[in-house]
Amino acid sequence: MKKEKNKNHANSSDKKVIKFKTSFESKNLIHTKKLRTLLIVIIVIFLLLISRIGFLQFVQGNTLKEKAYQQQTINQIISPKRGNIYDSTGKAIAIGAQVDTITINPTKIVKSNDADTKDYKEKVAKGLSDIFALDYNEVLEKVNSKTKVETIIKKVEQEKVEQLKQWMEENKITIGINIDEDTKRYYPYGSIASHIIGFCGSDNQGLSGIEAKWESILTGTPGKIVSSKGSDQQEIPNAEETYISAENGSDLTLTLDLNIQTIVEKYLKQAVEDNQCENGGNVIAMNPKTGDILAMASYPNYDLNSPYTPNSTLSKIYDTLSTQEKSNALFEMWSNKSVGETYEPGSTFKVITASVALEENITSSDIANDFYCQGYEEVADYQISCWSKNPHGVQTLRKSLCNSCNPAFIQLGKRIGAPTLYKYYNAFGLFNSTNSSLYGEQTSLFQSLDKVGPVELATMSFGQRLNVTPLQMISAIACVANDGILMQPRIVKEITNTDTGTVSEMPITQVRQVISKQTSKEVKSLMESVVTNGSGRHAAVSGYSIGGKTGTSEPPIGKEEDGYVASYVAISPIEDTQIVLLLTLYKPEGKNGHQGGQVAGPVVSQMLSEILPYLGIPANENPANVTNTNNFLTVPDVRNKTVTEAEKILKNAGFTTKTYVNGDPNTILVEDQTPKPGNLLPKESIIVLYGQGSSIATSVTVPDLKGMNASQASNTLKTKNLNINIEGAGVVISQDYAKDEQVQEGTIIKVTLKQALTEAH
């Protein structure tokens, strides 16, 4: 039984054993294949992380370092002060006025709850809009902005800033509204010299004129304060700061003289309006010895303190223009005609043609029957007329220039030839920019030499069908007036470093010798004849020697709407020229016509009548009342000095000498001199010295001076070792020593001049 029972138990146990025909996989164990896959994934991820770390460290390391630096630092920019601009007499014509910029931090304009915050923001918007006369809704939009900083208004005057401060104090507002120091460009003289000075934009960057051309000198270099900030983007108190100071802009001193500038602008405006010059006018005054621009103006001008406001001329049509047309019109209003536009110079250019002819010995000033005018000149298949309806007949070069005779200069140009003319045009600087450092300077338009035929040669000989800028033209005439030496125009005289006080003077630059001193002297004499006995008589100034040339250029065929250009160029004084002045009037249509002599000549006379005395140049009418100046010198007493010592004293004083001495000039004393001490004479007048024991010569014959201009009379007397005393202006009508009278060398011959009347062109 027992065995059976065990047997049954065994059978029962066997029944509990379960046998599977498929392989067994436990859920509690990781399969080898999955383990391998997982390991590979981990390795790949690890490699990617290593690669990313390497990329960030070695490739983007510097960039990220810079970003971290920016996030951890505060850079406060210190704006440099823009340099001032002064005229040559020290008057400030462009300065930085203290203003402020008002900004807000919208996220700081808050209260404890939304309702109070809304009311508070509306209150701030109302206050700001009322104080600064701004649109309330626009200000409220900025106050409700989510940005950190919003600009409310720039360039606020101190009066408004004080009003804002008072309002903030009354309303107990201490944060959220910022007052940042700034400067605003201010022009004390408004529209005076507007085209030269130019103006700045709202960010104080020069946009036109000197302000733009000399931007790098005027603007300076910004500085900054570097400090640290925490993760909340707030500055860390007591953190170390790095201070880099700003380098302020340098001051500029211009060659412009505000007094002369005011004079020429006054008469330019009057001339443009009186002569109904539809396209305005332009004037330049220059010192030929240095190239300094003493004055330069275009009219109509504009107010530098509100440059985007149309001037009185433009405002008449401004509202009728399209947006693009308005923009173009403003740019034209800002344009400096002296350098930014070209024109046909007309007969003023005959001075250049005459200079070339005299320098090349093709003719001389006073050869009888040198030219012939029958009222026109046949050139190729064209008949080019003289401006005058009455033929001028036979003429000298002097008379041809006085008459402004086109046929005579066509004949002269043909004798010279285009290659020679072009050589001198280049030498006079007419093919290139003058390098004046003025904003927007353009250059000339000439036919290429290989395209100059007989007609082109003819027209350019009297200044038509070629285009130059007014500055190029006056520079060439100044060269003629400056003993033939071309000077580079200069507008900036000095640069002053406002941080150190160091003053750097801009150099006076001599470009080249173009014509000889003798040729220069002859051409100036010709120009004087134009004023005293020719078409330029309207530019005469009582008591002063003036040389001039008129110009009237007609519009090219097909551009008749451009109208005539009337111009006049003048130099003074003849002997020692201190100023050259060029006036250009575009499309004059008034009752005075369009001829340069009639329209521009009288205006030049008005300008010079004020400028010459201002420059300290004495009138010739009353030299006895004038102390030593640049033009008149007092004859010193050199008697009882050795002849050698006396000559040295006189030459140092500006005189020339002639001596009569028997023996050693180092030991023999001067017994007498002519003229006597105390007389006032022009520079380079002759003083005759007589040593002890020398006889006094009395055999000089006085020439006939009647009909000559001051320059001719002076030169004629110099050949005889005689001196001159001039009264009046024009041509000689009388002389105190008669023709053929015998006088002592060095004698002063007093002559009286009077204006001759001639048809003007």
In a domain, 267, yes or no: no
* Percentage of residues of the chain with pLDDT beyond 90: 62
pLDDT at 159: 85
pLDDT, greater one: 739 or 211: 211
404: left (phi over 0), alpha (psi -120 to 50) or beta: left
**pLDDT of 35 above 70:** yes
**pLDDT of 571 above 80:** yes
**pLDDT of 1 above 70:** no
pLDDT, greater one: 155 or 497: 497
Domain extent for 598: 339-488+498-603
Contact 334, 367 (CB under 8 A): no
Q: How far apart are CA 735 and CA 548, in angstroms?
A: 25
> 96 and 199, same structural domain?
yes
pLDDT, greater one: 180 or 375: 375
- Phi, psi for 541 (deg, rounded to 5): -125, 125
Q: How far apart are CA 340 and CA 470, in angstroms?
A: 9
For residue 625, what pLDDT band results from cuts at 50, 70 and 90? very low
Mark 605-644 as b/e (b = at least 16 C-beta within 10 Å). bbbbbbbbeebebbbbeebeebeeeebbbebbebeebbbb
**pLDDT of 61 above 80:** no
Choose among 573, 503, 545, 605: nearest CA to 287: 573
pLDDT at 71: 56
> 519 and 638, same structural domain?
no
Helices 517-533, 350-359: inter-axial angle, 10-degree rounding: 140
pLDDT at 371: 97
For residue 629, what pLDDT band results from cuts at 50, 70 and 90? very low
pLDDT (tens digit, 9 = 90+) per residue, 89-130? Answer: 999 999 987 778 889 999 889 888 988 899 999 999 999 999
**pLDDT of 221 above 90:** no
**pLDDT of 26 above 60:** no
**pLDDT of 550 above 90:** yes
> Which residue reads 């023709």 in tokens?
739
Q: How far apart are CA 475 and CA 486, in angstroms?
A: 7
Sequence-distant (6+) residues with CB within 8 A of 363 are: 357, 370, 397, 412, 415
> 166 and 129, same structural domain?
yes
Answer with the one of 541, 569, 603 that is the final residue of a domain. 603
> 407 and 479, same structural domain?
yes
> 660 and 599, same structural domain?
no
Residues 673-690 have a mean pLDDT of: 90
pLDDT (tens digit, 9 = 90+) per residue, 269-285? Answer: 999 999 999 999 999 99
> Which token pair is 716?
């004629």
- Phi, psi for 108 (deg, rounded to 5): -100, -5
> 176 and 84, same structural domain?
yes
Q: How many domains does the chain have?
A: 3
In a domain, 513, yes or no: yes
Is the bond preceding residue 665 a cis peptide, omega within 30 degrees?
no
- Name the strand (E) or helix (H) holding 4: helix 2-15
Give the CA count within 13 Å in the CB-facing half-sphere of 271: 35
**pLDDT of 722 above 80:** yes
In a domain, 14, yes or no: no
> Which residue reads 């940005």 in tokens?
147
3-state helix, strand, coil in the chain (%, to 5): 35, 25, 40
The one-letter amino acid code at 432 reads N
The one-letter amino acid code at 57 reads Q
pLDDT at 724: 92
> 551 and 657, same structural domain?
no
> Which token pair is 271?
């001339």
For residue 43, what pLDDT band results from cuts at 50, 70 and 90? confident
Q: Residue 243: exposed, middle, or buried by beta-carbon count in 10 A (0-12, 13-18, 19+)?
A: exposed
Contact 296, 437 (CB under 8 A): no
Residues 526-542 have a mean pLDDT of: 91
> 505 and 452, same structural domain?
yes
pLDDT at 57: 75
**703 CA to centre of own chain:** 48
> 643 and 579, same structural domain?
no
**pLDDT of 18 above 60:** no
CATH code of the domain containing 588:
3.40.710.10
For residue 731, what pLDDT band results from cuts at 50, 70 and 90? confident
Bridge partner residues of 281 (DSSP) = 299, 585
> 227 and 88, same structural domain?
yes
> 202 and 169, same structural domain?
yes
Coil, strand or helix: which one is 1? coil
Instruction: Provide the 10 A C-beta neighbour count for residue 589.
Output: 13
pLDDT (tens digit, 9 = 90+) per residue, 370-426? Answer: 999 999 999 998 899 999 889 999 999 999 999 999 999 999 999 999 999 999 999
In a domain, 176, yes or no: yes
**pLDDT of 238 above 70:** no
Give the CA count within 13 Å in the CB-facing half-sphere of 330: 18
Answer with the one of 203, 229, 254 that is the final residue of a domain. 254
- Phi, psi for 646 (deg, rounded to 5): -65, -45
Alpha helices by DSSP H, listed for 620-690, are 643-653
> Which token pair is 607?
């300008």
pLDDT at 226: 56
pLDDT at 204: 84
In a domain, 282, yes or no: no
pLDDT (tens digit, 9 = 90+) per residue, 146-159? Answer: 888 888 998 788 88
Contact 256, 193 (CB under 8 A): yes
pLDDT, greater one: 335 or 698: 335
pLDDT, greater one: 204 or 79: 204
Sequence-distant (6+) residues with CB within 8 A of 418 are: 449, 452, 456, 457
Q: How far apart are CA 87 and CA 252, in angstroms?
A: 9
Mark 557-583 as b/e (b = at least 16 C-beta within 10 Å). eeeeebbbbbbbbbbbbbbbbbbbbbb
pLDDT (tens digit, 9 = 90+) per residue, 340-351? Answer: 999 999 999 999
Q: How far apart are CA 52 and CA 29, in angstroms?
A: 35
pLDDT (tens digit, 9 = 90+) per residue, 280-337? Answer: 999 999 999 999 999 999 999 999 999 999 999 999 999 999 999 999 999 999 999 9
pLDDT (tens digit, 9 = 90+) per residue, 429-445? Answer: 999 999 999 999 999 99
Choose among 506, 441, 525, 448: nearest CA to 475: 441
Choose among 572, 621, 574, 609: nearest CA to 727: 621
- Phi, psi for 713 (deg, rounded to 5): -65, -45
pLDDT (tens digit, 9 = 90+) per residue, 257-267? Answer: 999 999 999 99
pLDDT at 622: 43
Average pLDDT, the chain: 87
**pLDDT of 214 above 50:** yes
Q: How far apart are CA 421 and CA 546, in angstroms?
A: 27
Residues 680-684 have a mean pLDDT of: 87
**pLDDT of 4 above 70:** no
> 594 and 731, same structural domain?
no
Contact 278, 563 (CB under 8 A): yes
In a domain, 296, yes or no: no
In a domain, 66, yes or no: no
pLDDT, greater one: 754 or 642: 642
For residue 13, what pLDDT band results from cuts at 50, 70 and 90? very low
Q: How far apart are CA 237 and CA 276, in angstroms?
A: 69
Bridge partner residues of 512 (DSSP) = 486
pLDDT at 627: 38
In a domain, 564, yes or no: yes
**pLDDT of 227 above 90:** no
Q: Give the DSSP letter string of 466-535.
A: -BB-HHHHHHHHHHHHTTTEEE--B-EEEEE-TTT--EEEPPP-EEEE-S-HHHHHHHHHHHHHHHHHST
**610 CA to centre of own chain:** 23
Q: How far apart are CA 678 and CA 686, in angstroms?
A: 14
pLDDT, greater one: 36 or 163: 163
The one-letter amino acid code at 536 reads G
Answer with the one of 216, 234, 254 that is the final residue of a domain. 254
The residue count of the chain comes to 761
